[in-house]
A and B are shown apart, each in its own frame.
Chain A
Amino acid sequence: MIQKKICMLGGFAVGKTSLVRRFVTNVFSDHYQTTIGVTVEKKTVAIKDHDVMLMLWDLYGEDEFQHVRDSYLRGSSAYILVMDGTRKVTLDTALALQQTAARTLGTVPFVSIINKADLQSEWEIDDGAIEQLRARGWTVLFGSAKLGQGVEELFLSVATQIMHGSPLPTERL
C-alpha cells in the first residue's frame, strides 16, 4: 500500500484537529499535540481503485509561543492549510505557513480550506481575499468541522493531487 505524509498547518484554533477528528478514528490523545507539537493520525482512502494511506501530521497551531518545526514538515507529500473564516488573521498565518512549507518542502501539492462554514455570516475573510488566494494558484475549499461538511472532500482532494496531480471535483460551498 502507498503511504503519504500530509501535514495539517494553520493558525491557533482554526480547527485542524477538529477536521482530522472528523476524518479519522484517533489513537493518540490531543495531549501530545500540546506537548511535542504534533499528533499523527492515519486514514486510508481509495483513489481510482488504489488504496492510499494518509499519515496526517496534525501540527500544533502556529502562534506567538510556538512555531511549526521544519523537522515535522520534512518528508511531506502534501500539506493542508487551514484557516478560520471568522478570523482574517488566520489567512495571514496561512500565507506565512505556506511560505515556510514551500521553503522546506519545495513544490508539493497543497490544499487550503476555510473552516467554520457554518458561521459564514461572521466571516472576516471576504470573497476578494479568497479570489486573491486562487489567483496565487491555491486550491481553496470551504468546510465545517462542526457539521462535517467538506472534510472528506478536503482529504480526497489532497490524496488525488498527490497521486495524479489533479484535484477531484469538489462541491464549493
Chain B
Amino acid sequence: MSSDLRRPRSESSLPEGLTSVQEDWTQLRTLLLAPEQTQLDEIRERLDNRVVQSGDVSQVLPEAFALRGDNDPQLSTVLAPYVENGFVASVRKSPRTIVDAIAPIIAPAIRQAIARALQSMTQSFNHTLDESLSVRGLRWRVEAWRTGKPFAEVVLLHRLRYRVEQVFLIHRETGLLLQHVATNGAVIQDQHVLSGMLTAIQNYVRDSFGGRQDQTLDQFQVGEWTVWSEQGSQAYLACVVRGTPPGSLREILCDTLNHIHAQHTDALAHFVGDEAPFKTTQPQLESCLQAQYESPPKQSSLKLSILIGLLLLGSVWWGWMEYQTHTRWSNLLAGLRAEPGLVVTEAKSAWGEYRLEGLRDPLAKDPTAMVIEAGLEPATVKAVWSPYYALDSPLVLARAHSILQPPTTVKLHIAGETLVATGFASTEWVRETKRLAVLVPGISQYRDEGLVTTSIPVLLAQINRAIIHFRSGSSSVEPSERAVLDVVSTTLRELDRAALQSGQRVALEVLGSADATGSAALNLQLSKQRAQAVLAILGEKRLGDGITLVPGTVQLSDQQGATRETSSLRSVTLRAALTAPEQVQETARP
C-alpha cells in the first residue's frame, strides 16, 4: 500500500481526464495521510537502521531474559552452549582473571581437603607406628594380610571408638536426598535410594507405633553401625556411625540442622526436587564427619616408659662400666709404659678381652700384679713377655745387688754407667766385686774409693796383742790403760762388722792374771776381778752382735811365771777367735 502512495502511476500512459483525477487523488491522499506517512517513514527508518535496533534491544534485553527465563528453562538450554563457549574462550584468553575470581572459593576448599588428608595420614601413621611391634599389632597384620586391607586401615578400624562415616541431608516429606557427604573408605550404597529407604523406615516405625508426626525414630543399630537421625521441620539429618557415638554428637547434628534450616528456609519450603541449592551445605555436613580413636592404654605407656627407663639405665650402666674398664685399661697401659723394665710393644682390647705383648726385665715389677692393681681380671688379660735386660738405673742397681750380694754395710748406687760402692766391706768381698761388677749388664765401670776394707785376721791379731796392765794387788783399770781399752773397743767393733759381713762369729775370751805375790786364792780372786773390770769397761762400749764375750776366764801365774815378767803378769789379755755360731752358743753356756 505504501508503495502505491509514494509512487503514482505514470502519467504519459494515461488519458488526460484520468491524469487530472489522479493528481487530485494524490493531493487528497497527501493531505489526508501526511502524518501517518511521516510516522511510517520513521518506523521504516528504525527497522532498517541496525544501530537503532541494537539500542532498542539493549534496553529491553534484561527484562526479556527475566520474563522468558522465569517460566521456561528453554532459554537456559539455548544459552548454555554459548555461555560455555564464552567461558572457555575467556579462560584461554585470560586465565589469570578466572583464577583470581575463583581462588577465594577454591582455596579454602583445597586447604580443608589437604588438612583433612594430612590429619588422616598422620593419625594413620601414628596408630600404625604404635601398633607395629605389639602382639596385637602382629595379629592385626595377619588380619590385614588375610583381608587384603592396608595395615593402617585395619589398625584404624580396631582403634576406632566412633567415626561418622556418612551424613545424609534428606527432605522430610519426600524422602529425597538434598546433600550427602561421606568419609574416605566408607561403604556407600546408592545414597538416593538409601535416603528413600531411611525415610520409609522412619514412616513405617512411626505408623506402626501410632506415633505423632514429631515422634521419630532417632536411632537404630545394625552390627557395628549406628544410624542416628536428627529431625527438623523440613529436613532431617541421618548419620551412619561406626562404633559408639558420644552424646555430644547429637548436639553437633542439632546445631548443623538448625543452621541449614535457617540458611535455606525458602529452598526447603519450596523444594520441588532440585538439590542444587543445597550444595552449599556440604561444608556444614562435613563438619559432622567426626571421629575419635582409642588412645593407647596408659598401662602400655607406663610399661613402655619403664622399659625405656630400664633400657636407658642399662645403657648408662653399660656405658659407665665400659668407661671404667677402658679407663682401667688405659691406666694399666700407662702404668706398664712408665714402669722400668717393661716395654709394651702391642696392646689390643676387644669384647672384654685384652692382649699384651712386650719385653720384660726379669727384675721388673710383675705385670700380673699391676693388672690386679689396675682393677682388671687377670684372666681377661693375655700377656706375652719376652725377657731382656733393661738399662734403667733402678734395674741396673737391682741387678748389681742381685749379682754382687753386697753386705749391708756397703751401699751401692749408679752414676751414669758406673757402679759406686761405699761403706765397709771385707777385703774378700771387695776383691770379688772388682772382678764381677763390670760384668753386670748396664755397668761399664766400678768405683770403690769410698769403701773401707777390713781384714778379720789382722783385727783378731790386734786384739790378741792387747795387754791391760794393773798395779800390784789392784783390780782397777788404770787411767793410763784406758787408751788401750779404747783401741781394743774400736778394733772389736770393726771386727764385729767384718764378722757380720762374712757371716762369721767371733768368740772373745778375757783372761785375767796375777803375779805370784800373795796366796793363790787371793791371786785367783784378783785375776777374776781384773777380768771382770776389763769386761765391764768393754761392756760399756757396747760391742756388736758378731762378738760373744766369754767373761770370768782366769790365767793363773804359776802356770806362766817362768816365762813372763812380773808386771806383765798383773794384767788382762784378750783372746779372740773366729768360731761358728753354734760353737759360740755352746761356749756361752756355763
- Footprint of B on A, CB under 8 Å? 1-5, 27-28, 32, 36-42, 49-50, 53, 55, 57, 69, 71-72, 74-77
Contact = CB atoms under 8 A, between A and B. Distances in A.
Given A1-B275, A77-B273, A53 B174 contact: no
Interface stretch (B40-48, B50-58, B195-203, B552-560): B195-203
Contacts of B201: 36
B75 to A, nearest CB: 13
Contacts of A72: 200, 203
A74 B197 CA distance: 14
Contacts of A3: 174, 176-177, 192, 273-275
Interface residues of B, number: 24
Contact of A27 (B77, B175, B193, B204): B193
Contacts of A38: 200, 204
Contact of B190 (A42, A74, A77): A42
A55 to B, nearest CB: 5
Contacts of B173: 74-75
A38 B206 CA distance: 15
B73 interface: yes
A32 B197 contact: yes
B497 to A, nearest CB: 130
Contact of A37 (B189, B193, B204): B204
A2 B177 CA distance: 11
B171 interface: yes
A2 B200 contact: no
Contacts of A50: 73
B196 A40 contact: yes
A4 to B, nearest CB: 5
A69 B206 CA distance: 11
Given A55-B193, A75-B171, 16 more contacts: A3-B192, A3-B273, A5-B174, A5-B196, A5-B273, A28-B193, A28-B197, A37-B204, A41-B193, A42-B193, A55-B176, A57-B175, A69-B207, A71-B206, A75-B174, A75-B176
- Top-10 shortest CB links A-B: A40-B196, A75-B174, A71-B203, A75-B173, A36-B204, A3-B273, A3-B176, A5-B174, A2-B273, A38-B200
Given A2-B274, A36-B204, A37-B204, A76 B174 contact: yes
A4 B177 CA distance: 10
30 contacts: A1-B275, A3-B192, A3-B273, A3-B274, A4-B273, A5-B175, A5-B176, A5-B196, A27-B190, A27-B193, A32-B197, A36-B200, A36-B204, A40-B197, A40-B200, A41-B193, A42-B192, A49-B77, A50-B73, A55-B175, A55-B192, A55-B193, A55-B196, A57-B196, A71-B203, A72-B200, A75-B173, A75-B174, A75-B176, A77-B174
A72 B197 CA distance: 10
Nearest to B204: A36
A68 to B, nearest CB: 11
A74 B172 CA distance: 10
A69 B203 contact: yes
Interface string B52-90: 000000000000000000000100010000000000000
A57 B176 contact: no
B57 to A, nearest CB: 27
B369 to A, nearest CB: 94
Nearest to B203: A71
Nearest to B192: A42
A57 B200 contact: yes
A78 to B, nearest CB: 11
Contacts of A76: 174
